[in-house]
Amino acid sequence: MDKTRPIILKKRSGHGGGHHGGAWKVAYADFVTAMMSLFIVLWLLNSSKQIQVAVGGYFKDPTGTSKKVGSNMVGAGENFILTKDDMPKLKDQLQQTIRQMTDFEKLKSHIEMTVTAEGLRIELLESASGTFFDSGSPKLNGDGRELLVTLAKELGKLPNKVSIEGHTDSKPYASSGNYGNWELSADRANAARRLMQANGIRADQVIQVRGFSDQRLRKLDNPLDPSNRRVSLIVQYVVKNNDEDDAKPSAGVEEKHPDDKTSPPPTGTSGKKE
């Protein structure tokens, strides 16, 4: 009787992993994620304070905080607006930048920054011998040019509108009767505007250039004090996007100074001199 040879089946069990497995993909994905996180951290460390606050605000409250710092405006500086709550931060940032100037110790007593109802007011105060402008002239000197260029580079990063004001003291302008404190205050404000627009401020960023002559004295009790001669830069507030609680833009709101007189027209004629 013939015996049938048994059929033997050999089964090979599959090996997990190996160079044809998928375990390496998980490790690679983790590596790519870690590298992306590293790049984001390095980018944030080299970004401006506004960007850092915006990103941090999003992670703290994705539903609203980032809207209060960021903006969907396109082509305006770093695409961040400054509202009333953010103005003290801008003040600190500008003060730190100005401290890097060569003659800061000489100029620090002639630069004042104040958060007002209209925005951040930056005052450049003259001295008896002239600090930022040649005496009795709208021509900027070296210190005035350096300071305005520094401010222009910083303010040009923002979409906030800027107003520029010129002021004089009450000393009669002993020159031609066709040129006086009205013209001088307006010309100094315009000289500041031209220099700043050539060094960072956008053409559409300055919305007002005003000359007030001696009608807004800084020191009412001393109309001839040199500090009454000054140029003021006002960085105005901006409405926060999609936030009904926020303040309206203050472009048309006049700041109430305790020493203000009735505001005259921005330009005119006078026979006065600094």
Q: Mean pLDDT by 10-residue block, N- to C-terminus, for the chain (274 residues)?
A: 68 58 84 90 81 76 52 41 78 87 83 90 90 90 92 90 95 79 94 96 94 94 94 84 45 44 44 46
For residue 123, the model assigns a pLDDT of 95
Q: What are phi and psi of 78, to 5 degrees?
A: -95, 15
Contacts of 136 (CB under 8 A, 6+ apart): 173, 175, 184, 273, 274
| Number of neighbours of residue 120 by Cβ within 10 angstroms | 24
Place of tokens 């350096």: 146
pTM: 0.58
Q: What are phi and psi of 52, to 5 degrees?
A: -60, -40
**Which residues lie below 8 Å from residue 106, measured CB to CB, with a gap of 6+?**
143
Going along the chain, which residue ranges are E strands? Answer: 111-115, 119-125, 162-167, 206-211, 230-236
- Contact in structure between 129 and 107 (CB atoms under 8 Å): no
**C-alpha to C-alpha distance for 129 and 110, rounded to whole angstroms:** 12
User: No. of H helices and E strands in the chain?
Assistant: 7, 5
pLDDT the model gives residue 41? 85
Which two structure tokens, joined as six digits, stand for 119?
């925005």
What pLDDT is recorded for position 14? 57
Give the integer Cα–Cα distance in Å for 158 and 183: 30
Residues 6+ apart with CB under 8 A from 175: 136, 273
Please give the helix or strand (H or E) that residue 49 lies within, else none. Answer: helix 49-60
Helix axes 181-197, 142-155, angle to 10 degrees: 60
Domain boundaries, the chain: 21-70, 76-274
Secondary structure (3-state) at 202: coil
Quote the CATH superfamily of domain 76-274. Answer: OmpA-like domain (3.30.1330.60)
pLDDT at 59: 74
